[in-house]
Structure 1
Amino acid sequence: MTTSVLKPATVPSGAWAGSSRALGRFALGACVPVLILVLWQLVGQSSAMSGVVPVPMQVGRAWYDWMFGNPGMGLNPYLGTWFGNVQYSTMRVAQGFILAMALGIPIGLAIGWSRVTSLMLDPLVQGMRPIPITAWLPFSIAVFGIRDMGSIFLIFLGGFYAIIVNTTQGARDVDRNLVRAARMMGASSGQVLRRVVLPAAMPSIFTGLRIGLGISWTAVIVSEMVAVKSGLGYVLWDAYYVGRMDIVLADMVSIGLMGFISDRLIVLIERRVLVWRILQNH
């Protein structure tokens, strides 16, 4: 009669190493936010700031009610409205940012690659780029009124200049030896632009996308404070106006969280598109 001995399942050493690295990265990323929360709690409980700055526990409770509260219960107008306002802001950012990409990338490539286009458009871009988003608010309200299009216009401006400047620089920094080699092989100007210049400029383009997306989240908050009546920016201003600093701080954390998630999405796409760059670095 034979007996079998059950052996515990073994986990490959590579999996343990990967888990350890992931845990280490998480710990490094979490240490500073945890330290900030501890300092915030201590400062908020001090006699000088007591009642002025809500402590993290108060903000957490307000944030939970804002997310999961029953809108029909009590006199709190923010109960259960978080997801709706996040959706409004996210949709506006997506529309304005996609428009900024659709115009900023091709125009940036044209300015960086063509001397004639650069002479025609670059002075205009550099002259308008320093105008802050807030300076466009009166124009936006006058043209579009208190509607979504005014907010989308401001978001577009916020992302457009970061995208176009980085794309232009990426196109200008293309290795000329690659261009000469492509032309020697009979490539037309359009083929050189599509198959040489655009791939070589992609790292700079993704840098512009990340910067532009961050500015777009800033623009949506500014625009929603004035130009529309919904979204995270509107709640931020409304909560400040009625003295709900716990909602104000929860709103600020929400904005940072949404910006972080959208930035990670751009990084994920970049890793898929520029897989050759990752392999080259390894």
Structure 2
Amino acid sequence: MARTVVAITGASSGIGAAFAKRLAPEHDLLLIARRRERLDELAREFSHREGSQVEVIQADLTVEADLAAVAERIANEERLVLLINNAGFGTKGRFWEAPLESQENMHRLHILATVRLTHAALRNMTPRDRGGIINVASVSAFVRSPGTTSYGATKTWMTAFTEGLYLELRGLGSNVVVQALCPGFTYSEFHDAMGADRSRLAGPAFWLSAEEVVDASLDGLRRRKLFVIPGWRYRLITAFLSAIPTALRLHVEAIAGRARLEQMPAPDVSKQLQ
């Protein structure tokens, strides 16, 4: 029997690579990222150790031609059972101080690429009434913080988009599952690319490994959970902030975000981790 296929964007490191590692024993993989050498390394590892057939696509999803090619590949993969929209990056500094080009590319990657690839995947999956989509958002979708305005806005959009898909699929009685994965601080190259000092962002208790995030996501997918927030501390924080009056929430977020903003280096063009 042919193995099913999982497509992962931003697969070269961090959460994307951890998803690939967890899923390789049972699925063939379609790994998508900008760093070809890292993708080839992962492909060799999973092919040798797990027996997975791995296809790599070097693509910058902020570039129209690359995005169109990946969308077409996903639309035509008859064995596709899971799409993980994980590619993303962050910028540092106040919105008007961060380079505009980086802000625009962030919206292209987090929003437009998610729309295009999700559309391709659902047109593939819904006729077969089988499959799932994981949109990797962030706890920033629920917790505002100075210095992450554009990033948080794109992740808020991602959770709203996923919730809307959930309602549409549920209305059809579809077996296709969607999930908004909302991790907090995660050990990966994400903050290194921003030039941020992890030790000044949050205490050790608030940092999760990429493997912990992935395990929580896959457990939630099996249980058809719409929102997955790994780590009890983050679930407590988001529940607290959603329960208090808006004025108080904004006050708390302003205080909590001040230290983060002050520790950020001077803005520059961010390195995109895809």
TM bucket (normalised to shorter chain) is: under 0.3
* Structure with the higher fraction of residues in helix conformation: 1
Larger CA Rg, structure 1 vs 2 = 1
The structure with the largest strand share of the pair is 2
TM-score (norm 2): 0.23
TM-score by length of 1: 0.23
